Amino acid sequence: MIKSQSRLALYASAALWNLSMGMFQVLIPLYALSLGFSIVKIGTIVALPVLGEVVARFVGSALSDRFGEARILQGCYLLMALSGLALLGADSYLHLLGAQTLANCSRSIFWSSVQSLASQLPGASMGKKLGLVTGSTTRGPWLGLTLVASRRRGPDYGTASWRRKASSRAGRHTS
């Protein structure tokens, strides 16, 4: 029972982390756009933190070997929570860049730790274990994107779309 609980906890936490990351990747540019930032500033908010991700992956792997995957994953989840809190208070370019940097640091240490921890689980073959981790984490961004999209479109989106199509057709038939 303990083995299946730890497996479930790993897969569920990985999916939840990736759900957060999926929402974050959509919300940052949309929020920056709503603040009136130029496309160049939005591009740098998204792209600059990714440059540091390569170095952070090596650091994350070394820390994972030194302190253990479970502790590093806890740190990863903490960084994601901090990036969400930073996003709540972000009202300038530097604040958004900081929130995005925290999220990317979390992402850079996540993958090596979660894959290493999954490989240590008892049971199935290595390919099956890593496939289950990948499967549970890939559901996260899709669900995150869906949640963000459903909140962004508003309650009248379907009705407004139907009215627009109907008026467009009516206009074609009357002219």
Q: What secondary structure does DSSP assign to 8-21, as a single string?
A: HHHHHHHHHHHHHH
- By C-alpha distance, which of 111, 108, 110, 112 is closest to 54? 108
Q: Which residue has the higher pLDDT, 102 or 128?
A: 102
Report the predicted TM-score, pTM, of the whole model to 2 decimal places. 0.71
Look at residue 147 and tell me whether its pLDDT is greater than 90.
no
What tens digit of pLDDT does each residue of 29-82 get? 888 988 899 999 999 998 888 887 888 888 888 888 888 888 888 888 899 889
Tell me what pLDDT residue 97 has. 92
Residue 57, CB-side half-sphere exposure with 13 Å CA sphere: 11
Q: How far apart are CA 146 and CA 23, in angstroms?
A: 9
* Structural domains of the chain, ranges and CATH numbers in brackets: 2-174 (1.20.1250.20)
Does the pLDDT at position 162 exceed 80? no
